[in-house]
Structure 1
């Protein structure tokens, strides 16, 4: 029973739960960006280079013979994945830059100095009186 309790405490730690949420959101974000690249960016880019779909770029290493399938290197898919990575990295960079900018604004907001305590007011008055007496001499 103590092993189960230990595991539950481990699994419910704040860091583990935060990490799990981050991984799930990251996976969903990755799907969105992959769709953005595959369905929105790559078709016009393929059209610009002559109507070619990047996924069709292949290098046949060994042609199909009989029942043996061809050995094919799909470098077009690799190119698309590179675009995916660049866009995801840029999106994360921009998000972190925005978060840092917002955090900096919070830190840079001028805070009003705290009101002086009664002791500080009294000491300031004593200092001023001593200064006036010294100037009279």
Structure 2
């Protein structure tokens, strides 16, 4: 049991727990933004193309409501709206990740002087140059 707590403490202290918590909080906030984007910006123009059809109201009735029982229906319209939400979220995340990857690749390029290169990349670049020089000297001495 002590090793479990030691491992959890190591996990939490290394920052993984904080990174996950921050990611979850940002993801939740991002979900709210996407919901508004879909419901207030994207769906109204789509409803113009579909003659103001409300997708959430679309359903296939299996059994009509009576005095004795409730209606039984398959709500396929809501599923369509959730799928649209999913694709918008996926597209948005793709664009954001692509932007960050482009910025990251620029920052990791030691020849790019517009973005400050992180220290670890600079050290690796310097080591690469030294190894190239060493290999060149070794080749010259073998001749």
Report which of the two structures shows the higher radius of gyration computed on alpha carbons.
1
Q: Which runs of 4+ in 1 moved over 2 A?
A: 5-13, 111-114
Q: 1:67 to 1:40 in 2, by over 3 A?
A: farther
Report what 1:88 is aligned to: 89
How far does residue 42 in structure 1 lie from its aligned partner after superposition?
0.9
User: 1:52 matched to which residue of 2?
Assistant: 53
Task: Return the offset for 1:93.
Answer: 0.5
Distance 1:69 1:28 in 2: 37
- 1:36 and 1:111 map into 2 onto residues whose CA distance is 36
2:12 is the alignment partner of 1:12: yes
- Residue 140 of structure 2 is matched in structure 1 by none
CA drift of 1:108 comes to: 2.1
Give TM-score, length-normalised by structure 1: 0.70
Residue 109 (structure 1) shift: 3.9
Cα pair distance change 1:106/1:11, threshold 3 Å = closer
Name the structure, 1 or 2, with higher relative contact order (CA <8 Å, separation 6+). 1
2:137 corresponds to: none
Residue by residue over 1:49-70, the C-alpha shift from the partner in whole angstroms, topping out at 9 and shown as x without a partner, is 1111111111111111214210
SS in 2 for 1:36: helix
| Matched-pair contact (CA < 8 Å) for 1:43–1:53 | no
Q: What is the aligned-residue RMSD (CA, Å)?
A: 2.9
8 Å CA contact retained: 1:38, 1:80 = no
| Residue-pair matches, total | 115
Give 5+ residue unaligned stretches, structure 1. 115-137
Distance verdict in 2 for CA 1:41–1:15, change over 3 Å: same
Aligned-partner Cα distance in 2 for 1:111–1:30 = 35
- TM-score normalised according to structure 2 size: 0.67
